[in-house]
């Protein structure tokens, strides 16, 4: 099986996925699709959505749109678009270059520009995600554009039209912070990342990790356990088998409370709950690793501190490197750890001075 992410997955085609969802495959075929879904988040989410009532039939219509199947309003909009565009072209074309355009032909983006033009010839921008601005299209033109994805039936070559001027977009706002389209948010920009502090300990705000506005994902507590000697009557880290998801920050607040109190085992259990569901969560990686360090679980500490250090969200990079070096020093000795401390010292960061003292 070809595992190159950029090559076509001709072994699990959309058609095969639909057969799976309709229950038309034998167990071996089902296994093949399920195995692919395990490895492919797009396939997995697509299957979830297509399994909803009416979705498969709608997907079939989406795939092979026939002109007669489009809603009347789109057809009407398409006809208007054809008439307007043809009129513009005829008016602007010099007599010598004028070509006859057959009735019923659809306007398509020219090969040179590939730029769709709205039915009224103008182009107003509509921010999509705050970083890009794209021309807003009338529904009819959207339909035409979709059809133009396919090799069109014979059409006349139309003269090139200049691209419409773009209007600068109004930046979208996320929460209280305006998003500048010229400055795409980057998870690698440590200095601009939003942080919160709970119990004196740092957390990367979940909006930075998950692109959600406020609170981040809900955390289920299926794996949490309550210590038998725990005196606290209410403890969100210890839950029943199937609790409702709780807000991310509330859960991590409990984790850091346990951490700040030196209750490493409880903190570790709480971060493990997060990692079970979101294995790339940098907050959980770092504090799980740190709790393991405190508990003397060196293998686990190295694994999670290394993960936090190399996470694309690099907010814990320095701290993870420091504690990772301490683990190496403890398990393999000062000689082996020396290059790690030297690297930390060279970075000139918060731990540089301490690293120099340990070299």
Partner 1 sequence: MFLRRRTDTSLSDEDLVLRIRGGHQASLAVLWDRYAQLLFGVAMKYLKDVDRSKDAVLDLFTVLPERLAKQEVRQFRSWVHTVMRNHCLMELRKAGVPMDRAIEEMPIAGPPVQEEGPLLEADLQRMEAAIEHLDPDQRACIRLFHLERRSYKQVSEQLDMPVEQVRSHLQNGRRNLRIALDQRQDRHEH
Span 218-257, contacts to partner 1 by CB under 8 A = 218, 245, 247-248
Binding part of the chain for partner 1, among 1-9, 96-104, 251-259, 348-356 by CB under 8 A, reads: 1-9
Site membership for partner 1, residue 162 (CB under 8 A): no
Kindly tell me which residue out of 88, 89, 124, 142 binds partner 1, with binding defined by CB under 8 A.
Answer: 142
Binding part of the chain for partner 1, among 86-94, 254-262, 276-284, 340-348 by CB under 8 A, reads: 276-284
For residue 133, the cross-strand partners are 127
Q: Least CB distance from residue 149 to partner 1, whole Å?
A: 4
Of 219 and 355, CB closest to partner 1? 219
Distance CA 135, CA 263 (A): 55
The alpha carbon dihedral of 295, 297, 302, 308 has a sign of negative
Applying the rule CB under 8 A, the residues between 183 and 202 that interact with partner 1 are none
Kindly tell me which residue out of 259, 264, 278, 316 binds partner 1, with binding defined by CB under 8 A.
Answer: 278
Distance CA 123, CA 16 (A): 40
Distance CA 130, CA 182 (A): 9
Binding part of the chain for partner 1, among 77-85, 141-149, 283-291, 348-356 by CB under 8 A, reads: 141-149
# residues contacting partner 1 (CB under 8 A): 89
Of 193 and 302, CB closest to partner 1? 302
Q: Least CB distance from residue 132 to partner 1, whole Å?
A: 6
Residue with tokens 């490895």: 39
- Residues 16-55, one symbol each (x = binds partner 1 by CB under 8 A, - = not), give -xx--------xx-xx--xx--xxxxxxxxxxxxx-x-xx
Q: Least CB distance from residue 153 to partner 1, whole Å?
A: 8
Q: Least CB distance from residue 51 to partner 1, whole Å?
A: 8
Distance CA 254, CA 270 (A): 8
DSSP string for 178-229: EPPTTS---TT-GGG--EEEETTEEEE-HHHHH--SSS--EE--TT----TT
Distance CA 324, CA 302 (A): 6
The alpha carbon dihedral of 261, 274, 268, 336 has a sign of negative
Site membership for partner 1, residue 125 (CB under 8 A): no
For residue 203, the cross-strand partners are 196
Site membership for partner 1, residue 152 (CB under 8 A): yes
Applying the rule CB under 8 A, the residues between 99 and 118 that interact with partner 1 are 108-109, 111-116
Q: Least CB distance from residue 104 to partner 1, whole Å?
A: 15
Kindly tell me which residue out of 68, 104, 150, 168 binds partner 1, with binding defined by CB under 8 A.
Answer: 150
Q: Least CB distance from residue 293 to partner 1, whole Å?
A: 15
Applying the rule CB under 8 A, the residues between 292 and 321 that interact with partner 1 are 299, 302-303, 311-313
Of 58 and 93, CB closest to partner 1? 58
């Amino acid at each position: 099986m070809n595992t190159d992410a950029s090559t076509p997955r001709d072994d699990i085609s959309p058609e095969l996925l639909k057969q799976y969802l309709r229950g038309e495959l034998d167990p071996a075929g089902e296994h093949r699709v399920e195995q692919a879904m395990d490895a492919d988040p797009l396939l997995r989410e697509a299957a979830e959505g297509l399994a909803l009532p009416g979705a498969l039939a709608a997907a079939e219509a989406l795939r092979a749109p026939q002109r007669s199947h489009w809603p009347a309003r789109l057809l009407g909009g398409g006809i208007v678009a054809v008439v307007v565009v043809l009129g513009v072209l005829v008016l602007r074309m010099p007599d010598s270059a004028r070509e006859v355009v057959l009735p019923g032909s659809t306007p398509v983006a020219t090969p040179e520009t590939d730029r769709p033009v709205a039915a009224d010839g103008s182009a107003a921008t509509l921010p999509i995600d705050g970083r890009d601005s794209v021309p807003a299209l009338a529904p009819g033109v959207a339909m035409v554009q979709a059809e133009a994805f396919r090799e069109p039936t014979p059409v006349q070559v139309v003269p090139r039209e200049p691209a419409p001027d773009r209007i600068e977009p109004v930046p979208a706002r996320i929460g209280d912070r305006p998003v500048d389209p010229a400055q795409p948010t980057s998870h690698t920009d440590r200095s601009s990342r939003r942080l919160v502090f709970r119990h004196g300990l740092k957390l990367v705000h979940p909006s930075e990790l998950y692109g959600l506005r406020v609170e981040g994902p809900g955390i289920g507590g299926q794996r949490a356990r309550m210590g038998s000697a725990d005196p606290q009557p209410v403890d969100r880290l210890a839950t029943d088998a199937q609790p409702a998801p709780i807000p991310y920050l509330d859960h991590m607040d409990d984790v850091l409370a346990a951490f700040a109190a030196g209750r490493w085992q409880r903190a570790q259990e709480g971060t493990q709950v997060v990692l079970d569901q979101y294995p790339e969560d940098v907050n959980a990686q770092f504090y799980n690793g740190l709790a393991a360090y405190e508990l003397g679980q060196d293998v686990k500490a190295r694994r999670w501190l290394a993960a936090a250090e190399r996470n694309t969200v690099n907010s814990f990079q320095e701290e993870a490197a420091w504690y990772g070096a301490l683990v190496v020093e403890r398990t393999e000795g000062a000689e082996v750890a020396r290059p790690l401390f030297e690297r930390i010292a060279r970075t000139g960061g918060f731990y540089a001075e301490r690293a120099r003292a340990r070299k």
